[in-house]
Structure 1
């Protein structure tokens, strides 16, 4: 059974960010500007605003501007508002820089507290793909193989209950979360993209899966 080991892979977030950069940036560069005003799964935010948030968060990491409360909703909203007057190209340039340069900084953090930011960036890329109507918004073989172990590690750090996932098309089960005394591990059966949606609190309309022993609310890693 595949799952988070006691040893952190410090370069996993970097590999995920760089792989996502190579997949996402060509899509963003060729998409007509008016489509960036489409609404996303993030309440109140357009695709442009989601990308502005992503760019700001990554560049804060790159530049070491990580004061207390930096990733709270109020701070995120302020970063997005600061970028409202920017041309779209400037936001995309900042995002590409962040996806390229943040990984080594995240790797250098001994406690892995910023690993979840890299996973969140990948999820937000899925939010934008879904807004654009792209298939497999939270999937993609190249990034999913990197995102799933990071999701497993993040689910354990965020104290979600233990869950064993049997994923469609994958031979190994995935272990997420951590043990709860007196409680057997929950079970999930379905595709990997839906599992990502559950843990990240994204829309589940039209999905099909089996979940026993836990509720979707208990599994959220971003609250």
Structure 2
């Protein structure tokens, strides 16, 4: 889930923390109001319920807050251990940790000068996973989308995704993703921002409408 700083002259180290706090203010009240059974609903993340996703998110952010980055951190095995360590926690305690992480991690991510920006983006995507599982509007969208798109572009360069020219609904300027090798023209995406996030994060695309020319969806995976 880590990234490195891009060469973008407009790089804003406060962006990841701002995205986390924006999502915190929208998501935490939804989690507090949910009944216990809602936490057992399956998400699009294989094998994970809503509770699993939230436990993973909270533990990842607290690793940032506490600077706990042992070898193998954020690997699938590490993520599963973090979730298992919280198996006896109440749902409210899981949410408490997540809220603290979303509040405190931004300052530490800013000090990392880009190396941890992907953590904030991943947290935001997982919030979309929860909304999707609960059938709520705003999955992979909402007020955080402008910051999320900038972080998405940076992440796509880190993982050296192919060049992609994204014409997004309601956005005047195209978004350029990927690094590419200069061997050919960029692929082109036409559609809405939430669907672009779905494509790049490997989320379900059923019910969406978009065009992707010159590449396949799997070419733009931003998390591995």
TM-score normalised to the size of structure 2? 0.95
Aligned partner of 2:94 in structure 1 is: 91
Aligned partner of 2:43 in structure 1 is: 40
Aligned partner of 1:164 in structure 2 is: 165
Aligned partner of 2:221 in structure 1 is: 220
Task: Please show how residues 117-136 of structure 1 align to structure 2 within 5 Å.
Answer: 117-136=119-138
Aligned partner of 1:209 in structure 2 is: 210
For 2:180 and 2:196, the matched residues in 1 are separated by 19
Task: Please show how residues 11-90 of structure 1 align to structure 2 within 5 Å.
Answer: 11-90=14-93
Q: Unpaired runs of 5+ in structure 1?
A: none
SS in 2 for 1:78: helix
For 2:181 and 2:26, the matched residues in 1 are separated by 38
For 1:76 and 1:198, the matched residues in 2 are separated by 23
Give 1:54 shift. Answer: 0.1
Distance 1:194 1:43, change over 3 A: same
SS in 2 for 1:97: helix
Q: Deviations over 1:83-112 (max 9, x none)?
A: 0110111100000000000000010013x1
For these two proteins, the number of residue pairs brought into alignment is: 219
Q: Deviations over 1:66-98 (max 9, x none)?
A: 112110000000000110110111100000000
SS in 2 for 1:188: strand
CA contact (8 A) 1:4 1:175 kept: no
Aligned partner of 2:192 in structure 1 is: 191
Give 1:181 shift. Answer: 2.8
Distance 1:198 1:28, change over 3 A: same
Moved over 3 A (4+): none
Give 1:179 shift. Answer: 2.7
Give 1:135 shift. Answer: 1.2
For 1:218 and 1:155, the matched residues in 2 are separated by 10
Give 1:136 shift. Answer: 2.3
Q: Unpaired runs of 5+ in structure 2?
A: 1-5
Aligned partner of 1:10 in structure 2 is: 13
